Amino acid sequence: MQRYFVPSSGWDDSKVVITGEDVHHIGKVMRMKPEHHILCCTPEGDLAKCEITDITTEAVTCQIVEWLEEQKELPASVTIAQGLPKGDKMEHVIQKGTELGASQFIPFEAERSIVKWDQKKSQKKITRYQKIAKEASEQSHRTTIPSISQLHTLRDLIALQASYDWIVFAYEDEAKSHSFRSLKEVLTQVQQGQRILVIIGPEGGFSEQEVQTLKEAGALAVRLGPRILRTETAATYFLSALSYQLEELG
């Protein structure tokens, strides 16, 4: 059953009103009619089975049939802080990261980031990423959409440390070392309900100064397996491993 994320302004007691691009999708792409059923998600993550009662070019009106209980979110909240990569790699990170359960994405400008954003480009990118996260949430049947933050610096990320139970960063030198901290060492200690900030560098990795800054702030350098991963692969690896640890083994 097709699902849609409806902002709080679209909910009114037992009625749901859908506006925006989803109207075209429901009426023209899915070719739905009155009496067809869809799933509607609230901004808080609640889910309702709804019956379409009216479709116009401006809005789709639905009646709530029943509230459903679904648990599709990761047991721990994961924020992916991604060093700005080249091309459309950030879109890949957000799409796949959303499918695997990330709750937030923070793009940040690292010392070795080749890409630079100005204010105009930044807002355009964020809007694009929000759309990708929404579509990926619908496709993967999530009940919430990950948030996309404005561009950060490493200093901004460090300032967030009090909001997280764990801060880790993927460091390629851990993969080369004989005495390394494996991801398993961290994941086996993560508890349900905890918050994790995962910091991933751009194509060139972290500078020595950035590594020192992160370690001094208490962030843990971890190895994501024995192979060196591309920047757009690292978040997928982490989220997959966490899902297996908390959802499959747990």
Q: What is the CATH number of domain 3-68?
A: 2.40.240.20
Instruction: Give the model's pLDDT for residue 181.
Output: 78
Q: What is the CATH number of domain 77-248?
A: 3.40.1280.10
pLDDT at residue 177 is higher than 90? no
Give the mean pLDDT of 180-207.
Answer: 93
* Paired strand residues for 41: 5, 47
Task: Express as a percent the part of the chain with pLDDT over 70.
Answer: 97
Instruction: Give the model's pLDDT for residue 225.
Output: 87
Instruction: Give the model's pLDDT for residue 174.
Output: 61
Report residue 149's pLDDT band, with 50, 70 and 90 as the boundaries.
very high
Write the pLDDT tens digit of every residue in 210-227. Answer: 999 999 999 999 999 888
Look at residues 176, 199, 229, 222 and name the one whose alpha carbon lies nearest to residue 110: 199
Comma-separated ranges of CATH 2.40.240.20 domains in the chain: 3-68
Comma-separated ranges of CATH 3.40.1280.10 domains in the chain: 77-248
Instruction: Give the model's pLDDT for residue 119.
Output: 79
Q: Give the chain's count of helices (H) and strands (E).
A: 8, 12
Q: What pTM, to 2 d.p., does this model score?
A: 0.91
Contact 227, 218 (CB under 8 A): no
Give the mean pLDDT of 120-146.
Answer: 94
Sheet holding 104-108, edge to edge: 147-148, 104-108, 77-83, 195-200, 166-170, 220-222
Give the mean pLDDT of 31-37.
Answer: 96
Instruction: Give the model's pLDDT for residue 116.
Output: 87
Radius of gyration of the chain (CA): 20
Instruction: Give the model's pLDDT for residue 88.
Output: 94
Instruction: Give the model's pLDDT for residue 17.
Output: 97
Instruction: Report the C-alpha gap between 56 and 59 in whole angstroms.
Output: 5
